[in-house]
Amino acid sequence: KRTVVFISGGGSNMMALVQAAKSADYPAEIVGVISDKADAGGLAKAAAEGIATFAFVRKDYASKDEHEAAILAALDELAPDIICLAGYMRLLSSAFIQRHEGRIINIHPSLLPLFPGLHTHQRAIDAGMRIAGCTVHFVTEGMDEGPAIGQAAVPVLAGDTAESLAGRVLTIEHQLYPQALRLFAEGKVKMEGGKAVGATAS
């Protein structure tokens, strides 16, 4: 399955997907990496892997619509079966999501539906959580609301800071996301009637 990954930063999740896709039996091929930041560290990492990279900087466009239109035109060329958001820090419009309905997945650094949005690790610590983790989910029009494909958890340890917890969660993100993409690319999980139907990634 042709897969395009969207990033805004270092792209460690994108690289975990790139690494996984190197296995002969992996059902997805990363055919492009798109960023909204020209200086996203992940772009250089993807280029070093020989993957086509594209930066669409928001301030270069008069409106969100024109920004998305440029991205959609690149996607029409890349013709992805799957779009993976991986540390992509921009909300996609309803029109964009409808255009690619059921083909977009995302990784979020919390056990959704707990802690949608930002600063998830600090919020988990402040709430006294004893576990934290990450969720791979289908992208729907609401932020971080789509049905989950898989989740992975870690303990919250005494003395944890947002940084120490983020590091522990990021490690399992890099294991969960390739598993979730594998299941999705193999057709073992899909979104039907707003629900994830099929296998669970862990």
- The annotated binding site for (6R)-10-formyltetrahydrofolate is made up of 64, 89-92, 106
Place of tokens 């598993």: 179
What are the DSSP calls for 94-145, one per residue?
HHHHHHTTTSEEEEESS-TTSS-SS-HHHHHHHTT-SEEEEEEEE--SSTT-
9 binds ligand GRF (CB under 6 A): yes
Return the biggest CA–CA distance within the chain: 49
Buried b (16+ CB within 10 A) or exposed e, 69-79: ebbeeebeeee
Residue nearer to ligand GRF on the CB measure, 13 or 53: 13
Residue nearer to ligand GRF on the CB measure, 113 or 187: 113
Selecting among 108, 119, 137, 174, the annotated active-site residue is 108
Question: Is residue 111 a contact partner of residue 162, using CB atoms and an 8 Å limit?
Answer: no
Q: How far is the CB of 147 from ligand GRF (least distance, A)?
A: 18
Question: Is residue 144 a contact partner of residue 117, using CB atoms and an 8 Å limit?
Answer: yes
Using DSSP, state whether 202 is helix, strand or coil: coil
Q: Mark the segment that binds ligand GRF (CB under 6 A) among 3-11, 30-38, 58-66, 68-76.
A: 3-11
Q: How far is CA 170 from CA 40, 71, 86, 87, in A?
A: 18, 27, 11, 11
87 binds ligand GRF (CB under 6 A): yes
30 binds ligand GRF (CB under 6 A): no
170 binds ligand GRF (CB under 6 A): yes
11 binds ligand GRF (CB under 6 A): yes
Residues 111-140, interacting with ligand GRF (CB under 6 A): 134
Residue nearer to ligand GRF on the CB measure, 38 or 197: 38
Q: How far is the CB of 16 from ligand GRF (least distance, A)?
A: 8
Q: How far is the CB of 22 from ligand GRF (least distance, A)?
A: 17
Is residue 119 flagged as an active site residue? Answer: no
Q: How far is the CB of 121 from ligand GRF (least distance, A)?
A: 9
Q: What is the DSSP letter of 45?
A: H
- d(C-alpha 186, C-alpha 67), whole Å: 32
- Enter the tokens of residue 32: 């492009």
Residue nearer to ligand GRF on the CB measure, 41 or 198: 41
Active site residues: 108
Residues near ligand GRF, by CB under 6 A: 7, 9-14, 86-87, 107, 109, 134, 170, 173
